[in-house]
Each structure stands twice: as structure tokens, then as C-alpha cells.
Structure 1
Amino acid sequence: MSQPQQLGNGQSTSWEKFWYVLGCIYFGAAYLSKVPAKKALSEYGLVELTGAEKFWYVIECIAFGSGYFSKVIFKKALSEVRFGVPQGYTAPPAGQAPYTG
């Protein structure tokens, strides 16, 4: 089971980095898969797309709407993100730092 991460502060494991690079080498598949997710994040004001990402997003949308339909899925997942205290969380005793993952 993976550890919870904070938005903007997540860490990729060595294997995740390896497979992402390998996926990018294979016709840019990993990079092009990332673009719709980043577009969805940009619509929430969490990231900014680069010029290249904006270009490839448009190309993906032209190609059978795949970029747009992928973005819709990511945006739906983001709409279900809950902020605040996780259910079942209890605050640490006074003087003890909270667990941050």
C-alpha cells in the first residue's frame, strides 16, 4: 500500500522514475498520457502548462478527442478529492509532530 503524499510534494520511487522514462522513450506515450492529467490540474489552478504541453493537448484533442476525454476522467477524480482531516485521524499528543508520510 502506498503512503499518502501531499499535493506538490509527492515523491516518485526509483522504479516509477525508470518506467516513466521508458514510457517516454516509447513514442512519448508516458509524456502524452501525462498531458491531459496536467491540463485537468491546470483548470483547478494547481499547475501551469508549458507551451509544449498546450500544443500536445490540442493535438490530442484533434486526434479523436482523446486528450479531452482523458482530461474529463482526471478532472472527475480530482473533483472527488477531499481536503481536511482524513476519516479516523486522531491528533498526536501535545508536543509530538504529526505524521506527514
Structure 2
Amino acid sequence: MKKNEFNYSLQNINLFAFDVDGVFTDGRIYISDSGVESKDFHTHDGYGIRKLIETGVEVAIISGRNSAAVEQRMLDLGIDNIKLGCNNKVSAFEEIITKLGIKVSECGYAGDD
């Protein structure tokens, strides 16, 4: 695919949904002796997400794990559509696009599952 074809294919994207573990992180989970979970996020990912939001694309986070660290990081990035602890990611995705009035054909997704 040529660069101009790639740009054209993205022009109708109104929502990009992401998994977290394995996408924003390397998949490792850190748990302290007191049971507090933390994750390692890279600032470059945050920069990219902010730029995506600035272009008017909605961003959604859909993760099977429930994590305060993930929720805080995504809120800090300005993401409003956050679904954590999802047993059914497809249902969570459908809820988000219904709420936003966006068609599936207008969406992109990055995840490792």
C-alpha cells in the first residue's frame, strides 16, 4: 500500500479503539507487596493518542483487566471512552459506537486479542 492510499484509507476513521496490555504496555503487570498494581507506559504512546484526539478521532480503551493505573493514565490523556474489566470486548465496543453514533466501518482497532 502506498502512503497516499494509506492516508486515504484512514480519512473515514472516526473512532480508534485500543486494548491496553500488549499495546500500550509490554504485557507485564507489576504488583507491589501491598497488592497495588502498576504498569509501564511510554510517553510516545501518549503523544500519539493526544495527536489522534486533536484530529477529531474518538479514542476508546477496551481491556479485560480492571486497573486503576490504566484508568488514570487514559483519563490523563483525555480519553473519555474507557471500558475496563470487560468479559466481552465486542459488547463493550458495540456500546461505545452506539453511544457515539459511529458505524463499525468508521472504526479502527489495535489489540493483541
Instruction: Please identify which structure carries the higher strand content.
Output: 2
TM over 0.5: no
* Greater Rg by CA: 1
Return the TM-score normalized by structure 1: 0.35
* Higher relative helix content: 1
> Whose RCO is larger (CA < 8 A, sep 6+)?
2
